[in-house]
Amino acid sequence: MKRIEDIEKLTLEDLERLSDDESVAVPESLGKGIENRILASEILRHDSPRPSMRLWKRIVPVFAAAAVIAVVAIGLGLHRSSVTPVDTFDSPEEAYAQVERTFAMIGSKVGKGKSIADAALPNMQKTSKLIGHKPSIPPSSSEGNLYSE
């Protein structure tokens, strides 16, 4: 039995020579199966003028079932999440301090993202000018108009 790498290296002439070799035994059921599939594909091709419609008729029920399952799962998840939450802090001061720390972390991440975007903006402008396309990025209040020459 050949490995896949060996088969991939064969030339077209080698493949034709191997296919013509009658010393290789081909199971009879394989030939019949291939003939049946070819015949079935020919019948389907001639009977159905619009194969895309057949595909559409197969896909729609699958998507409909998936949508129903998703709606049921979301409904069950919302039903279970409606349980009264347990307070995780002993005092309102602790909860407020945690909220402040969380907002500070979010603010630092947003600030870092803005600085990266601001640093990339000149490169985007150069690229847009080279392409001849104006990007749909609104002008920043600190940068002025993006499209000014």
Share of the chain above pLDDT 90, in %: 17
pLDDT of amino acid 53: 64
Q: Is the pLDDT of residue 56 over 60?
A: yes
Token readout for 47 is: 């009977």
The owner of tokens 């091709």 is 45
Q: Give residue-wise pLDDT tens across range 82-117.
A: 566 677 888 899 999 999 999 999 999 999 999 999
Query: How many C-beta atoms surround the C-beta of residue 53 within 10 A?
Result: 10
pLDDT of amino acid 83: 61
Query: Which of 40-49, 62-71, 89-98, 102-111 has maximum average pLDDT?
Result: 102-111
Token readout for 140 is: 């920043």
Rounded Cα distance between 89 and 102, Å, is 15
Rounded Cα distance between 124 and 40, Å, is 54
State the chain's mean pLDDT as an integer. Answer: 77
pLDDT of amino acid 47: 59
Interval 19-42 mean pLDDT: 77
pLDDT of amino acid 29: 75
pLDDT of amino acid 148: 47
CA distances from 63 to 41, 51, 57, 72, 74 (A): 26, 19, 11, 14, 16
Helix, strand or coil, per DSSP, at residue 140: coil
The owner of tokens 């002008």 is 139
> Which residue from 99, 119, 117 is spatially nearest to 109, judged by alpha carbons?
117
